[in-house]
């Protein structure tokens, strides 16, 4: 039996039968060349078995989720801010047009504006509370509904309500003035 055959046996040691294994180890005792190969193969094998595969830490996924949540919250706040700004401007603009059309209300306009600002502040508080409730809901199961769509709907309704309230304030003021 030559060295080549033993080299093959070293590589296939697990597949050898007892007789072949006995023969191999007998050869290894007397052959430094094959002994060296055997040792290096076993060292390599040991290295592969013990080499630590870089596995993600146990809190990796939770940290990742946290990052996603943070980014999502930031985005929601951005949408909230932008939409609130646009709707506020539109509402104020619309109310200005309505207010300017009714001359007698012009004197009461600062009062109307004050009431509107109060209303908007109350809105802001309400909406931030709402977003605190809605944000976890989005994260849990409402991903199907785009937050942008939902916020747009919400603010459209809010804007319409504000216009309605504003108009009723103007009407009441006008009514009071007409009766005076
Ligand atoms: Zn040998």
Query: If you measure from the C-alpha of residue 10 to the centroid of ligand 1, how many angstroms do you get, rounded to a whole number?
Result: 10
CA–CA dist 139, 147 (Å, integer): 10
Query: If you measure from the C-alpha of residue 8 to the centroid of ligand 1, how many angstroms do you get, rounded to a whole number?
Result: 11
Query: If you measure from the C-alpha of residue 15 to the centroid of ligand 1, how many angstroms do you get, rounded to a whole number?
Result: 19
Query: If you measure from the C-alpha of residue 81 to the centroid of ligand 1, how many angstroms do you get, rounded to a whole number?
Result: 79
Query: If you measure from the C-alpha of residue 32 to the centroid of ligand 1, how many angstroms do you get, rounded to a whole number?
Result: 7
Q: Which residue bears the tokens 């930031």?
A: 74
Domain boundaries, the chain: 3-50, 66-179
- HSE of 58 in the Cβ direction (CA atoms, 13 Å)? 0
CA–CA dist 102, 99 (Å, integer): 5
What integer pLDDT is reported at residue 179 of this predicted model? Answer: 67
Q: Which residues does 150 contact at the CB level (< 8 Å), separation at least 6?
A: 134, 142
Q: What percent of the chain has pLDDT over 90?
A: 8
Q: Which two tokens stand for residue 37?
A: 């190969």
pLDDT tens over the chain, length 180 residues? 678 888 888 888 878 899 999 999 999 999 988 888 888 888 877 777 776 555 656 666 677 777 777 777 777 777 777 777 777 777 777 777 666 555 555 566 666 667 777 777 777 777 777 777 667 766 666 555 566 777 777 888 888 888 888 877 777 777 776 665
Query: If you measure from the C-alpha of residue 56 to the centroid of ligand 1, how many angstroms do you get, rounded to a whole number?
Result: 44
Residues whose beta carbons lie less than 5 angstroms from ion ligand 1: 3, 6, 31, 34
What integer pLDDT is reported at residue 79 of this predicted model? Answer: 73
Compute φ and ψ for 132, nearest 5 degrees. -65, -35
Query: If you measure from the C-alpha of residue 41 to the centroid of ligand 1, how many angstroms do you get, rounded to a whole number?
Result: 14
Of the candidates 95, 80, 94, 92, the residue with the CA atom closest to the CA atom of residue 155: 80
Query: If you measure from the C-alpha of residue 3 to the centroid of ligand 1, how many angstroms do you get, rounded to a whole number?
Result: 4
Dihedral Cα 158, 162, 163, 166, nearest 10 deg: 170
Q: Which two tokens stand for residue 58?
A: 């146990």
Instruction: Write out pLDDT tens, residues 47-89.
Output: 777 765 556 566 666 777 777 777 777 777 777 777 777 777 7
The 3-state DSSP class for residue 31 equals coil
Query: If you measure from the C-alpha of residue 5 to the centroid of ligand 1, how many angstroms do you get, rounded to a whole number?
Result: 9
Query: If you measure from the C-alpha of residue 48 to the centroid of ligand 1, how many angstroms do you get, rounded to a whole number?
Result: 25
């Amino acid at each position: 039996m030559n060295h080549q055959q033993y080299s093959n046996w070293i590589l296939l040691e697990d597949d050898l039968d007892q007789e072949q294994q006995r023969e191999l180890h007998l050869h290894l005792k007397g052959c430094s060349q094959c002994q060296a190969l055997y040792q290096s193969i076993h060292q390599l094998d040991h290295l592969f078995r013990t080499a630590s595969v870089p596995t993600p830490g146990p809190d990796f996924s939770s940290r990742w989720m946290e990052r996603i949540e943070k980014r999502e919250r930031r985005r929601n706040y951005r949408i909230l801010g932008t939409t609130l700004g646009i709707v506020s401007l539109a509402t104020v603009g619309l109310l200005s047009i309505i207010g300017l059309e009714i001359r007698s209300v012009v004197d009461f306009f600062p009062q109307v504006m004050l009431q509107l600002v109060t209303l908007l502040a109350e809105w802001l508080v309400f909406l931030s509370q709402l977003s605190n409730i809605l944000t976890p809901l989005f994260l849990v199961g409402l991903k199907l509904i785009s937050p942008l769509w939902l916020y747009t709907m919400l603010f459209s309704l809010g804007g319409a309500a504000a216009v309605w309230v504003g108009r009723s304030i103007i009407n009441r003021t006008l009514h009071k003035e007409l009766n005076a």
